[in-house]
Structure 1
Amino acid sequence: MYATERHQHIADTIDRVGRVSVAGLARDFGVTTETIRRDLDALEQVGRLRRVHGGAVPAGQSTAAESSLDERLDRNAAQKEAIARAAFALIPPTFRGSLLLDSGSTTGRLAELLITWSPDQPGAGVDVATNSIPLAARLHAAANPHLQLRSLGGAVRGITGAAVGPTTIAQLSDIRPDLAFVGANGVSAEFGFSTPDETEASAKAAMVHAARRVVVLADSSKLDAESLVRFACLDEVDTLITDAPPGPELREALADADVQVVLA
C-alpha cells in the first residue's frame, strides 16, 4: 500500500473511530511503527489529526476543549440513554439509602429516569444530592414525594451548570452517599478518569472520595481519551457503565484496578 493510501485510511479511521494507535496501525498495515509515526507526523502537519502518546486523535480534539451542556444533550443520545437505564437498574424499588448525581448530559438522563422512581414499601424514599443546578431544578419541579432533594451550593459554572469550588467541596466532605454517579470526559489506562476543567475535577474528586460506591457513566467516545485534569485513578472507581467494550489496553487496566465494567 502506498503512503498516500495509508494516509487516507488513517484519516478515515480517525474520523470514524476518534483515535488510532501506532501499534495497531503498524499491525494492520504490516509496516514498522517508525513508518506509522512518519505517516502521523505528515498528517499532523496538514492539520488532519493531532499526535498524542501512542497514536493520534482528531485535530480539533484538545484536552482542554469542553462543550456546553446544551451542545452535549443530543450527542450520542442513544448510547447515553442506554447507559442511564443501566445505571437506573442499580436503584431498584428495594433500594434504601442516598444518591449523589454529578452534573452532565448522561447523569441528566439518569435524573429523568429517577423522577419515576418509587419504593416497594410505603413511606420509603431516597435522599438525592447533586451539584447540578439544572438537575436540581428538574428534580424539584417533578415533586416526586419519594425523593428527598439536596442541592449542593457553590460557584456555578455557566458552561455546565455545575456548582464548584470550596463551598461545594466542603459540603461534599460532610456527606457519605451510598452511591455516586459521576460523569467523565476521558477514561484512560494511563491517566484514569479526567475532565477539562480544574474546578469540576476537584468537585468530581470530592464526590469519588465521599461516596461508598462510585459509578462512572461514560459513553464509548470517552474511552481511551484523556482530558486536561484527572479527578480519579482507575482503582478509585467501583463501576464503569459504557456502551461498548473497552480496547485491550484499557480493558486490562480496568481489570487490574478491579473496576466492574457494565455494557449498556
Structure 2
Amino acid sequence: MADQQNLLAEQRRALILDEVRRRGGVRVNELTRRLNVSDMTVRRDLDALAHRGVVEKVHGGAVPVAEPSTHEPGFEAKSGLEQSAKEAIAGAAASLVQPGSAIALSGGTTTYALAQRLLDVADLTVVTNSVRVADVFHAGRNRTDAAGRTTVREGAASVVLTGGVRTPSDALVGPVADRAIRSLHYDLLFLGVHGLSARAGLSTPNLAEAETNRRLVRSARRVVVIADHTKWGTVGLSSFATLAEVSTLVTDAGIPAGMREEITEHVADLMVADPAPAAHRP
C-alpha cells in the first residue's frame, strides 16, 4: 500500500509541476479542488517540490523556479533525482536491445542506469561519450574464478569511448568527440537529455555538448530518448534535435495525461515505464 501511495504522490506532484510551469503559478485552494485532496496534502506536495528545487513556495501557492538556460548540474547532483523513475526507464529501454547490436549511449544518469541493465546482453558494441557508462562496462567485463584468476567474461561488450573535453555531467564533448562519432554508424542511440519540449525539441545548457549530441543523432539508425517526466518542458541554452528526429521516447508513469497527448503528436512511439515495487527492485 505504501508503494502505491508513493506512486500516486509522484503522479500528483508531476501534475502540480506541470500546472506551475504551464500557468506560471498555482494556488493551494485550486489544487485541492482539482486533485480532490486535502489542503495538507497539497502543502506537503509543494514542500516536496520546493525541496527538489523545481518550485518556489509563495503565500497561498507556488511559482516556478527559473533556472538560467546555461545552468548545468553535475553528475552527482543529478544522480539522486527521480531514482525510481530512472530505474524503470532503464528496464524498459533495455528491452529494445538485441544481442550482437551496435548501440550508442550518451552521457547522463539515466543512460548510466541503462548501462548497468545491459551487462548481460551478449556481444554488444557500445559507442559512448560518457566516462561513467564506459566505467560500467569496463567493470562488468572481467570475472574472477574461485582461484582468484581474472578472465574476460564471455560475450562482454566491446566499448568505443570517444575522446573529448569532460563536462560536469562526465560526458566527453568537443571536436575530438565529434570527429570520432562522425565516422561511426550504430543501430540504436540511447540519448539522455537535459530538457525536451514541443517548441525547443531536445536541448542542453552546454554548447559543445549540443554539437556532439547532433553528431550522435546523425550517426544513429534509430534514436531513443530516455528521460523522466521532469525533463518535459525544460529548455536548455542550445537545441540539438527536433522531436520529429526521435523514434522512441521512454519515460516514466509520473508524466501527466496532458503531456502524453502532446508528446504523441510529435513522437511516433511513446513507452511509459512503471516503477517496480521497492521489494522487487534489483
| Distance change in 2, residues 1:113/1:21 (3 Å) | same
TM-score by length of 2: 0.70
Give the TM-score, by structure 1 length: 0.74
**CA distance in structure 2 between the aligned counterparts of 1:245 and 1:70, rounded to whole angstroms:** 22
| Paired amino acid for 1:22 | R
What is aligned with 1:139? 137
Partner letter of residue 20 of structure 1? R
Residue in structure 1 matched with residue 196 of structure 2 by the alignment: 187
Deviations 1:16-69 (A, max 9, x none): 52633239969x69xxxxxxxxxxxxxxxxx948xxxxxx96225232222110
Could you tell me whether the CA contact under 8 Å between 2:177 and 2:212 is conserved in 1? Answer: yes
Q: Cα 1:57–1:14, aligned 2, differ >3 Å: closer, same or farther?
A: farther
- Specify the code of the residue in structure 2 equivalent to 1:97: S
Shift of 1:130: 0.6
1:117 matched to 2:121? The reply is yes
Could you tell me how far apart the structure 1 residues matched to 2:241 and 2:109 are? 20
Q: Distance in 1 between matches of 2:14 and 2:103?
A: 38
**3-state secondary structure, aligned to 2:186:** coil
- Tell me whether 59-68 or 236-245 shows the greater mean CA deviation: 59-68
Q: Percent identity?
A: 32
SS in 1 for 2:93: helix
Per the alignment, in what secondary structure is the counterpart of residue 208 of structure 1?
Answer: helix
* Match of residue 79 from structure 2: 73
Residue 256 (structure 1) shift: 3.4
1:233-252 correspondence runs (5 A): 233-244=242-253, 246=255, 250-252=259-261
CA distance in 2, matches of 1:213, 1:14: 29
Alpha-carbon distance change, 126 to 207 in structure 1, aligned in 2, over 3 angstroms: same
RMSD: 2.9
Instruction: State which of 87, 96, 99 in structure 2 corresponds to 1:90.
Output: 96
Deviations 1:161-216 (A, max 9, x none): 11111111111111111001001111101111111111111111111111000000
The residue correspondences of 1:1-264 to structure 2 (distance < 5 A) are 17=17, 19-22=20-23, 48=56, 58-92=64-98, 95-118=99-122, 125-143=123-141, 144-146=153-155, 147-157=157-167, 159-244=168-253, 246=255, 250-264=259-273
Separation of aligned partners in 1, 2:224 and 2:94:
11
Deviations 1:68-119 (A, max 9, x none): 1011112110000000001111114xx332010111100000111112223x
Question: What number of residue pairs does the alignment pair up?
Answer: 220
**Any idea what SS the aligned residue of 1:20 has?**
helix
The answer for unaligned runs of 5 or more in structure 1 is 1-12, 30-46, 50-55, 119-124
Distance, in Å, in 1 between the alignment partners of 2:69 and 2:63 is 11
